[in-house]
Chain A
Amino acid sequence: NAGVTQTPKFRILKIGQSMTLQCTQDMNHNYMYWYRQDPGMGLKLIYYSVGAGITDKGEVPNGYNVSRSTTEDFPLRLELAAPSQTSVYFCASSRGGAGNTGELFFGEGSRLTVL
């Protein structure tokens, strides 16, 4: 049981390049999230999903896109990378429905640098 797996762990991008951060979970969780963490700051929610085919914006969605075609996968797309997107990105999942205790399970994080 791997939990939440993110790839890549590290990436350097040039301004204007595009990339996708991959996230997959094997816990059959309905809810999935993408957070970013800037130095000295708390985690900020980018996008979230409450099930396959359903996504919604969080606090800081500009410059990002997501999709949720399966329960397991929740990729985060950066279309035109900007230096302001330099951050550590965390994917998380949680159980939905009656068994939802509110606990989020996190991936190890992906450190992205845009130069």
Chain B
Amino acid sequence: AQRVTQPEKLLSVFKGAPVELKCNYSYSGSPELFWYVQYSRQRLQLLLRHISRESIKGFTADLNKGETSFHLKKPFAQEEDSAMYYCALNLVRAARQLTFGSGTQLTVLP
């Protein structure tokens, strides 16, 4: 069963425009969700996690349990935001077994 769905494989926006990367999940318990990012020629790394309620590099993500969503948003996209973004759900808290979505390639155009 697909636990994490990222409906957009590719997303292009212009610099300065708002950006929203969609993530929907299916999980019967209390979810723990993350966004990971992979910049060109870099390792996959954590961007933010929902329990921290933090803003990283201008990005925020709010957990909406009613809509089972965890969309990633930024009001003004920058060219350096171009990267592959993965939404991830922790299935087994103790062992931190993450299940990942298929990813969205974000391109910010000049």
Do A and B interact with each other, yes or no? yes
**Range of interface residues on chain A?**
20 to 34
Which residues of chain B have a CB within 8 Å of any CB of chain A? 4, 6, 9, 32, 34, 36, 43-46, 49, 51, 86, 90, 94-103
Shortest CB distance A50–B (Å): 6
Contact stretch, chosen from A17-25, A66-74, A77-85, A97-105: A97-105
Interface presence of A75 (CB below 8 A): no
Q: A102-B34, A102-B90, A106-B43 are in contact. Are A43 and B100 (CB under 8 A)?
A: yes
Distance (whole angstroms) from the CB of B68 to the closest CB of chain A: 17
Taking the nearest CB of chain A, how far is it from the CB of B105, in angstroms? 10
Q: Please give me the residue from chain B that is nearest to A101 by CB atom.
A: B49
Point out the residues of chain B lying under 8 angstroms from A50, CB to CB.
94-95
